[in-house]
Amino acid sequence: MYLIYVDESGDTGLINSPTNFFVLSAIVIHESAWMNVLDDLINFRRYLKIRYGIMMKEEIHASEFVNGKNKLRNPIAKHDRIDLLKKCLKWLNSRNDVSIITVRCDKSAVTNNTVFEKNLEGSTPKS
């Protein structure tokens, strides 16, 4: 069995929407690896707390970090926020027990489907 966490970026609206794209991303972990991944993630988050002062329960949202609109207890300088995001991506990339799937929908290409249907019909993986 696989455990999957799915999150979205953008919105599904087609009229007066502030976004041109709708993106679904999933992190996939096999059940046999999830405890190891969780333990490593907790250790990684402890490192981020020591290095950047970000609390364990505070969420890391890339768009908020890039735009400086994060609501952290202890504000982090922009260059440190970018560095923190890079470290998160490197941590994910270093895992051979975590897979990431992302599907992007260009909402201008949606004709008679919903954005969700368009995302799913064109979900062929690309290298």
Ramachandran angles phi, psi of 77, nearest 5°: -60, 150
Which regions in the chain score pLDDT beneath 70? 70, 112-113, 116, 118-127
Q: What is the pLDDT of residue 121?
A: 67
Q: In angstroms, how far apart are the furthest CA atoms of the chain?
A: 50
- Written as one letter, the residue type at 93 is N
Residue range 16-28, pLDDT digits in tens: 888 888 899 999 9
CA distance 60 to 53: 12
- Written as one letter, the residue type at 76 is I
Q: What is the pLDDT of residue 108?
A: 83
DSSP 81: H
Residue range 90-102, pLDDT digits in tens: 999 999 999 999 9
CA distance 77 to 90: 20
pTM of the model: 0.78
Q: Where are the domains of the chain?
A: 1-32+98-127, 34-96
Q: What is the pLDDT of residue 29?
A: 97
CA distance 83 to 71: 18
